[in-house]
A and B are shown apart, each in its own frame.
Chain A
Amino acid sequence: MGDSRWLGAGMAGAVGLIGLLSLPDAAAAQTPATKALAPPCNMLSDLVSTNPPQLTPVDEANKDKLLTSGLPCAETVHGEGPAGKSRLENFQRGFDFYSWLTFIALNTPADDSEIKNARPDTRTKWEDMRHFRQLADIMLKEGKAPQWGERRPQEIPLACRKDFKPGMMVIQLIEESFNQPFKTGPLIDQNGNYALFDILLNQQMFDYIVNNKLYSRKEQMRNSTLKVDFPAGTNPPPDQPSGGDPGTVMLKVSWKVLESDKEKERFHNVDALISIPGSEDGRTKAACVRKTLGMIGFHVGHKTKNRLQWIWTSFEHVNNVPEQKDVEARNLQASYNFYDAACDVRKCPVNATPPRPWRFPDPSLKFHSGFKSQIARVTPLTDDTKEINAKFQNILKGTVWANYMLLSTQWPTDFGCSSKTVSNPVPNLPPNTDFDKQPDMTCAPAPAFLANSTLETYSQGSVPQASSSCMACHGNAVSYQRRPPNAPPDAKFFNQSDFTFTLEKAR
C-alpha cells in the first residue's frame, strides 16, 4: 500500500510539471540567508566542573547562553556527578542535557531570532528546508535524484499547488504518516482526528544518500556491497574553538490537527497542506487539505563519533497522556490530547488500538468511527528527567516550548563497543563503522526501552525485542540488495542500513 500511495503522490508531482512556469518561485520568495545549525558546535555540558562535580545552572543567569549556543555536534558527557549518583545516572543526565540543547537549537526560529521571543507559530530551523528536507522530497518517483534546498514548485503535489504559499509545511501522506511502526495502528485524538507523522533528514544525511545514490532502489541493488555508514558528528578538537560537524541528524515529528484558536496557543503549530494521494483504482482522486497542525511529538536521531549507534532523543507535549500510575490512582487532569479522564475504563480501554479497518485518511482527517484513543504512558519519566525538564521549561517560560518535555535520551552505554570502527578503513567512508559480528550491535542502550506516547503508542513496555527501543528496532533497518541469480523472481534481499529505515523508501 505504501508503494502505491507514493506512486500516486509522485505521479501528481510529475504531472504538475506542466504548470511549472505559472507557479511562484518558492526559493526566491524565501527569507534571507539563515545561519547554519552548526558549526559552531554547542559544547555546553551538564557539568561546569568535574572536580568537584558541579552542575551547570539552568537558571535565569544562564538562560541566554543556554538558549542561544546552537546545536551540539556531539555529546559532551561525564561519568562524574553529585554524590549518591551512579555512573549511569550521571551519563544519563549529561545526555538529557544534550537533548534539551538539541531540542532548543532545532526549534530556534528559522529567522535566527531568539527562541525566548518565539510565537507558537514561529517557523523553526528544522521546518526551514534549507536545514532539513522531508523524506518524501528525497525518495522521488522512479528513483530520480533529489536536490538540496528550498522546495521547488515541481516538488509540491499537484493538488496542493493552488493553496501553497512559501514557508508552508507540506506533508505527503503515506501509510507511515498515520499508521504506527510495524503497522500497529493509527492514533486518534480526542476530536476524532488522525495524528500525523513525518520524517526529515539534515543535509549531511541527504548528501550521503545522494552521493551513494541511495534514493534509488535500483542503485541500492547495484551498489549492494556498500556498507551504509552515515557521517558522524564531531566536536572540534581540544584547544580549537572552531571546527567540528554535526554529522547525521534525522527527525520524526508527530502532529495533531488543531481546531480552535485556544488550542493553537498551547502547541507549536504550522500552517500545513496535507497531500492525500488518490486511490490506485482511481475511485478517489488526489486531494489536498489545509490544516493547522500542532506538534505533539519530536524524535531526534543523531549519529556521533563516539555513539555510532546514534543518540535517540524523544520529546512530547506535556498534555498528551497521563502516566499509567496516575490513571490507576485517578490522579488526572481535566483533559489530555489522547486520554479522556471522564471515560470509564470499560468503555475506553487504555492503550487499545482503534477498530479496524485502518483506512487511509480521507480529506476530513477524521477516523471512520467515533473512536478516540485512550492512551496512558506505561513507563514513567525518571525523577532526574523530571528535574531537568522543570529547569529547562522554566527558562522557556512565556513561550510555547515550555509545554514540551523530554521523555529520555537513549544512548549506548558500552563505550568500547559504541565507538568501534574497522581496523582497515575504507577511504572516503567515514567513520568506518564496525558492527560486523558484534555480540550486541546496540552496545547496551540506556534506557533499555523508550517509547513516545504519540509515536510508539502501542509498543510501550519492557519486553525484550517487543517493546519499543530505538536502537534495538533501528538496528534491524535495511536497504535493498542485489538478488542472487538463483533467487525466486519476487524475493527481496536486504543489507543493513546503519540504523535508519529511510532507505527502504527508495523508489
Chain B
Amino acid sequence: MEEASMSDRLPEEQNPIVQNANIHVTITYTRRTLLAGAAAATAAATVGTVITTMPARAADPISTEDLSAFVTLSAALTGIQDKQLAPGFDRAPPGSDSIDIKRDYFRWVKEKRSVAFEKLLGIAKGNPKPAAQAIIEQVQADPESKYLARSIVLMWYLGAWYDPDDLKILAEPPASPPEVSHKVISAKAYTQGWVWRVAQAHPMGSSDMQFGYWQRKPNPERPDFFGGA
C-alpha cells in the first residue's frame, strides 16, 4: 500500500500519519473521531516529558492486563474505539472477539521490539481511560517509543508491519531511503486492515459486505466503519 488518500475532505479533517516522499498514508477522520485520531498524529510534533519508567515484568501475551493495555494504547494511537478494535474486551468476563487479531498483533510486536513494547504498555497502564491525549503525548516524547507507536498504527490500519527504524529514517530528513519494505503479517491481518473499513471498501479478494453493496454509495454517517460509536 503505497498511498491511500481521501482528498475530498476539509483540511482540518485530514490527518497525515506517515508522510514523506516515499510513503504517504492519509487517514480521513470525521469530527467524531478527531480528538483521539488527530491527537495520535499531530502529537508527532509535540515533545513532552521523556518516559523513563519501565515495567520490570516481561509482557505476557495471555495476560488480560497486558492485552487490555495494548488495546487502550492502540485505541489512543489509531483513533478507533477500543470496543471496535477488541469487541467485548471491556465486559466481564472480557472477550467476545472471535477474530482476535489483537492477540496476533500483540505477539508480533512483542517478538519484534520487546523492550520498547514494554515501555508503551507501561504508558497505557499508567494512564487509565479516558487518556488518549496523555498517552499520545507521552509516546511522542520518547524517541524509542514513538516510531514503534507509528508501526503499531500502520499495523492496525494496513495489517502490515513497517519497521520502526525505517519509519525513523523517513521522519528525520535528510535521509531518503529508496524504499521502505513492509510485511503483511498474516492472511487474517490482511483481511482486518482498518484502512479498508474506513474507506467503506474491502481488500482485494476478501469481502464480507452484502452482495450488491457496490451499488450503494459510501455513507459518511456510519460510525461502525471508521471506528466510532
Contact = CB atoms under 8 A, between A and B. Distances in A.
Interface of A: 79-81, 85-88, 90-91, 413-414, 416-417, 435-442, 444-448, 463-465, 472, 475-478, 494-496
B143 interface: no
Contacts of B93: 79-81, 85-87, 90
A444 B98 contact: yes
B11 interface: no
B224 interface: yes
B183 interface: no
Interface in B86-115: 87-88, 91-99
Interface string B209-222: 11111001011001
Contacts of B207: 465
B211 A437 contact: no
A448 B224 CA distance: 20
B45 to A, nearest CB: 32
Which 4 pairs of residues, A with B, have the shortest CB-CB distance? Answer: A446-B98, A86-B95, A440-B208, A496-B211
Contact of B206 (A85, A435, A448, A465): A465
B212 A496 contact: yes
Indicate the member of B91, B93, B188 with the most A CB atoms within 10 Å: B93
Interface residues of B, number: 32
Contacts of B210: 435-438, 441, 475, 496
A21 to B, nearest CB: 46
Contact of B219 (A79, A417, A437, A465): A437
Given A81-B93, A465-B205, A444 B87 contact: yes
Contacts of B205: 465
11 contacts: A417-B224, A437-B219, A439-B222, A440-B209, A442-B208, A444-B98, A448-B99, A465-B191, A465-B207, A494-B212, A495-B212
A445 B98 CA distance: 6
A54 to B, nearest CB: 15
Contacts of A437: 200, 209-210, 213, 216, 218-219, 222
Given A87-B95, A444-B97, A472-B208, A439 B188 contact: no
Nearest to B88: A87
B225 interface: yes
Contacts of B209: 437-441
B187 interface: yes
Nearest to B225: A439
B197 interface: yes
Contacts of B197: 439
B88 A88 contact: yes
Nearest to B93: A87
A441 B213 CA distance: 10
Given A87-B91, A464-B206, A496-B211, A439 B96 contact: no
A15 to B, nearest CB: 37
B96 A91 contact: yes
A496 B213 CA distance: 10
A175 B100 CA distance: 38
Nearest to A80: B93
Given A463-B187, A465-B206, A444 B99 contact: yes
Contacts of A438: 209-210, 224
A494 B216 CA distance: 15
Given A439-B208, A494-B211, 9 more contacts: A87-B93, A87-B94, A88-B96, A88-B98, A413-B87, A414-B87, A437-B219, A444-B99, A475-B208
A88 B93 CA distance: 9
Contact of A79 (B91, B190, B211): B91
A478 B224 contact: no
A243 to B, nearest CB: 29
A448 B208 contact: no
A79 B96 contact: yes
Contacts of B99: 444, 448
A81 B187 CA distance: 32
A442 B211 CA distance: 12
Contact of B96 (A87, A463, A495): A87
B159 to A, nearest CB: 11
Contacts of A447: 98
A31 to B, nearest CB: 42
Contacts of A475: 208, 210-211
Contacts of B224: 416-417, 438-439
A439 B200 contact: yes
A328 B74 CA distance: 40
Nearest to A494: B211
A90 B94 CA distance: 11
Interface in B172-194: 187-188, 190-191
B139 to A, nearest CB: 28
B49 to A, nearest CB: 37
B25 to A, nearest CB: 20
A82 to B, nearest CB: 10
A447 B88 CA distance: 15
